């Protein structure tokens, strides 16, 4: 009986061993499949990563190009804005002579004749605080009209200048600098009026 038991034990051991080997073969096949699947997934991941990397690189290049274009446009816009501001500043400082000449031709009384109209520069101060101011200088003559007072014509001319906004635009109030009688057979009165150019703020 012992022999049978041993045989049975041997047979049971063999069956057990064969089942373990079958399971091992089955496990090896599963492991191979799992490893193959993992390798395949790794390969797919690398390929997709490479594809998306190129796509991202292209998109990054497009974004950088777009950003550079935007920066160029922004810089050009700033240059244009600075130029427009400069032109507006120059225009504010500019005197509209055609308006002034038209206005003054309507303001001058019959007995008053303008002999000169010029823009003079006046320099004051020294060193770094040197200032240049411009002023409009009007010189004229009042023709003596049969005993009437010439000062009334000069006063009327000064009042008319002050009250005319198109002539006074960009200028301070007129200042009568000199009045003198001319010499000669005709006793005329010469005068000089200064209008300082207003400093824009």
Top-confidence residue, 90 or 2:
90
Pairing of strands 131-142, 189-196: antiparallel
Confidence of residue 5 (pLDDT cuts 50, 70, 90): very low
Taking the C-alpha atoms of residue 51 and residue 178, their distance in angstroms, rounded to an integer, is: 90
Q: Are 157 and 108 in contact (CB under 8 A)?
A: yes
Taking the C-alpha atoms of residue 165 and residue 144, their distance in angstroms, rounded to an integer, is: 29
Determine phi and psi for 182, rounding to 5 degrees.
Answer: -80, 155
Q: What is the pLDDT of residues 119-177, one digit of tens each?
A: 888 766 666 666 677 888 999 998 876 677 788 888 999 999 999 988 888 888 898 99
Q: Which two tokens stand for residue 147?
A: 């005993």
Confidence of residue 53 (pLDDT cuts 50, 70, 90): low
Burial class (CB within 10 angstroms; exposed 0-12, middle 13-18, buried 19+) of 39:
exposed
Q: Which two tokens stand for residue 164?
A: 């005319």
Give 199's contacts (C-beta < 8 A, 6+ positions apart): 133
Angle (deg, nearest 10), helices 97-107 and 150-163: 140
């Amino acid at each position: 009986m012992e022999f049978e038991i041993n045989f049975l034990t041997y047979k049971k051991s063999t069956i057990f061993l064969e089942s373990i080997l079958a399971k091992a073969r089955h496990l090896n096949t599963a492991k191979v499949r799992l490893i193959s699947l993992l390798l395949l997934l790794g390969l797919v991941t690398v390929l997709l990563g490479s594809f998306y990397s190129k796509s991202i690189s292209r998109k990054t290049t497009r974004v950088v190009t777009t950003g550079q274009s935007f920066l160029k446009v922004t810089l050009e816009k700033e240059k244009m804005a600075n130029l427009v501001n400069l032109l507006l500043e120059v225009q504010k400082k500019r005197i509209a002579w055609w308006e002034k000449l038209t206005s003054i031709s309507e303001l001058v009384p019959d007995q008053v004749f303008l002999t000169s109209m010029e823009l003079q520069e006046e320099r004051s101060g020294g060193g770094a605080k040197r200032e240049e101011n411009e002023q409009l200088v009007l010189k004229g003559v009042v023709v003596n009209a049969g005993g009437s007072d010439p000062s009334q014509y000069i006063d009327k001319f000064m009042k008319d200048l002050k009250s005319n906004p198109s002539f006074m635009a960009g200028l301070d109030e007129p200042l009568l600098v000199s009045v003198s009688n001319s010499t000669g057979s005709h006793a005329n009165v010469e005068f000089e009026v200064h209008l300082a150019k207003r400093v824009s703020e």
